[in-house]
């Protein structure tokens, strides 16, 4: 694709990077066939190729984008399905990230939109604040139901996402160390996530049990958002600050004793941590450390695949598992079949679901900010899941888990909860009577 950036514009490293990406697109349009939003609306501007043109025009022109451009770019899930399909290896992720940052810096959103984004930015990255907000939202649920017709869609969507029951919130603090059982074979930094700690603390508990059982010493590195949430809202300063904090936290752990891996068990966060190297490339103070942290970052399933798994538990019931492949894991990190193989090895009957490449509509804060599209995608995904009649649904991302949990009879759990159970841990609470 031809580009027309001026000499002055090219002095900016983000423009230089985006120009290279734009030039690699041959506008063949293969990507449109696997874009969930294009499949829903049929509008070229709701597909990757159309969005690439919009971003090119927006960046070349500079200044405030049109509301139409913002609408179509906001509707992008950042699911990265288009990157898996693209034969020219166009890095759409870096392009849309730049586009979102440009919008945030140059476009004045309507006041309610600004308000809700500020609230999300204030509450979600800090588990203590989010736990408080969730409690308040839960108490307000009956009133919100009563006035649902007059309430703005993001508020309704946010309250609907609050799980009916959650385990007690016990925040994991930075620096806490969990010793290996038996001989120490690995030293691990665990990034425990922000909303995950509140919505389903069992995921980190299972991860720590699973790792320590397999000879890992686990140290908690970071106890707030890794920057993923704010990054996807285009709030670059906040995202970079969170990324720097996490890089420093991991380096502190590493300097106290060599690390073998940085494990992330929420794949949305994992995609961002693996990208710290790019995000912080212009920051001389932390660029080298960011590079190092990204090189050590792995999803829990990638690390588990390298372990000699403890033998399957004797009394594991014969369960049908539907595997929901989170977009950030399959498209963002190119990890799709590994968790399925691991679950099978652990003794579960795993069934791939139809249209597994399409997003469930969760996508960070997308299911709050773009709730209509998110609902449609959720309904499609639940139909696919129900078609394999599962006893349990496994996924590697808290976002998908929350998005799907209220819509299916089958419990939705994290892959590591099943791996922990199969190798000697307790059954996930929803399966404990199975």
Contacts to ligand SF4 by CB under 6 A: 25-31, 35-37, 48-49, 51, 76-82, 85-86, 88, 90, 92
User: Of 59 and 319, which has the nearer Cβ to ligand SF4?
Assistant: 59
> Reduced to 3 states, what is the DSSP secondary structure of residue 9?
helix
CB of 33 to ligand SF4, least distance (A): 9
- Residue with smaller CB distance to ligand SF4, 9 or 85: 85
Instruction: Find out whether 368 and 157 touch, Cβ atoms under 8 Å.
Output: yes
Nearest CA to 328 out of 296, 376, 360 is that of 360
Least spacing, CB of residue 69 vs ligand SF4, in Å: 14
What sign results for the dihedral spanned by CA atoms 99, 105, 111, 114? positive
Identify which of residues 75 and 186 has a Cβ nearer to ligand SF4 in the complex: 75
Taking a C-beta distance cutoff of 8 angstroms, is the pair 326, 267 a contact? yes
Q: Distance of CA 342 to CAs 213, 306, 347, 393, 412, Å?
A: 16, 10, 9, 15, 17
Count of residues making up the chain: 434
Task: Give the residue with the Cβ less far from ligand SF4, 25 or 180.
Answer: 25
Closest alpha carbon to 214 in 163, 267, 260: 260
Is the Cβ of residue 193 or residue 364 nearer to ligand SF4 in the bound state? 364
Helix axes 48-61, 67-74, angle to 10 degrees: 140
350 pairs with which residues across the strands? 321
Cα 259 from chain centroid (whole Å): 24
Nearer to ligand SF4, 42 or 152 (CB): 42
Q: Least Å distance between CB 355 and ligand SF4?
A: 13
Cβ nearer to ligand SF4, comparing 82 with 280: 82
* CB-nearer residue toward ligand SF4: 186 or 336: 336
In angstroms, what is the minimal distance from the CB of 18 to ligand SF4?
13
For residues 37 and 265, which CB has a smaller minimum distance to ligand SF4 in the complex?
Answer: 37
Please count the other Cβ atoms lying within 10 Å of the Cβ belonging to residue 37: 25
**Minimum CB separation from ligand SF4 for residue 93, in Å?**
8
CB of 96 vs ligand SF4, minimal distance in Å: 6
Nearer CB in complex with ligand SF4: 78/397? 78
Smallest gap from Cβ 178 to ligand SF4, in A, equals 36
Distance in angstroms (rounded) separating the CA atoms of residues 274 and 195: 19
Q: Min. distance of Cβ 26 from ligand SF4 in angstroms?
A: 5
C-alpha distances in Å from residue 292, one per residue of 243, 259, 261, 286, 289 = 13, 11, 10, 10, 5
102 or 246: whose CB is closer to ligand SF4? 102
Neighbours of 13 (CB within 10 A): 10
Instruction: Report helix, strand or coil for 243.
Output: helix
Residue labelled with tokens 């009577």 = 433
Minimum separation from the CB atom of position 83 to ligand SF4 (A): 7
Taking the complex as a whole, how short is the minimal distance between the CB of residue 32 and ligand SF4, in angstroms?
Answer: 7
The two three-digit tokens of residue 360, written as one number = 């469930």
89 SS3 class: coil
Give the ranges where 107-215 is alpha helix by DSSP (H): 111-123, 127-146, 153-160, 195-199, 202-213
Number of CB atoms found within 10 A of residue 229's CB: 24
Q: Which residue, 396, 269, 288, 355, is CA-closest to 33?
A: 355
CB of 405 closer than 8 Å to CB of 163: yes
User: Least CB distance from residue 149 to ligand SF4, whole Å?
Assistant: 29
Compute the least distance from the CB of residue 121 to ligand SF4, in Å. 21
Give the nearer residue to ligand SF4 in terms of CB position, either 129 or 357: 357
């Amino acid at each position: 694709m031809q580009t027309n950036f001026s000499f002055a514009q090219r002095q900016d490293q983000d423009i230089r990077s985006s120009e290279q990406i734009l030039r690699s697109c041959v506008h063949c349009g293969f990507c449109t066939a696997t874009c969930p939003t294009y499949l829903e609306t049929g509008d070229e501007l709701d597909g990757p190729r159309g969005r690439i043109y919009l971003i090119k025009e927006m960046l070349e022109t500079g200044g405030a984008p049109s509301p139409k451009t913002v609408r179509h770019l906001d509707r992008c899930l950042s699911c990265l399905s288009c990157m898996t399909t693209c034969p020219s290896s166009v890095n759409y992720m870096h392009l849309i990230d730049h586009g979102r940052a440009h919008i945030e810096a140059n476009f004045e959103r309507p006041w309610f939109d600004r308000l809700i984004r500020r609230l999300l930015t204030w509450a979600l990255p800090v588990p203590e604040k989010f736990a408080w907000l969730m409690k308040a939202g839960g108490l307000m649920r009956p009133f919100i139901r009563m006035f649902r017709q007059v309430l703005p869609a993001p508020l309704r969507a946010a309250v609907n996402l609050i799980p009916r029951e959650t385990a007690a919130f016990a925040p994991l603090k930075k620096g806490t160390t969990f010793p290996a059982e038996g001989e120490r074979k690995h030293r691990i930094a665990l990034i425990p996530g922000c909303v995950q700690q509140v919505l389903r603390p069992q995921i980190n508990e299972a991860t720590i049990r699973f790792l320590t059982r397999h000879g890992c010493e686990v140290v908690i590195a970071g106890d707030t958002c890794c920057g993923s949430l704010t990054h996807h809202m285009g709030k670059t300063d906040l995202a970079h600050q969170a990324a720097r904090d996490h890089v420093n936290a991991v380096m502190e752990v590493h300097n106290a004793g060599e690390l073998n891996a940085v494990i992330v068990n929420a794949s949305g966060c994992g995609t961002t941590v693996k990208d710290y190297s790019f995000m912080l490339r212009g920051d001389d103070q932390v660029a080298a450390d960011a590079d190092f942290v990204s090189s050590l970052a792995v999803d829990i399933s990638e690390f588990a695949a390298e372990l000699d798994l403890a033998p399957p538990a004797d009394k594991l019931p014969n369960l049908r598992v539907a595997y929901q492949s989170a977009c950030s894991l399959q498209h963002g990190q190119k990890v799709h079949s590994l968790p399925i193989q691991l679950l099978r090895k652990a003794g579960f009957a795993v069934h791939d679901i139809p249209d597994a490449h399409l997003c469930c509509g969760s996508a960070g804060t997308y299911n709050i900010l773009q709730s209509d599209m998110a609902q449609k995608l959720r309904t499609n995904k639940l139909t696919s899941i129900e078609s394999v009649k599962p006893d349990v649904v496994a996924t590697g991302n808290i976002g998908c888990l929350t998005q799907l949990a209220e819509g299916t009879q089958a419990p939705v759990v994290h892959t590591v909860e099943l791996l922990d159970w199969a190798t000697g841990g307790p059954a996930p609470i929803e399966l404990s009577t199975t």
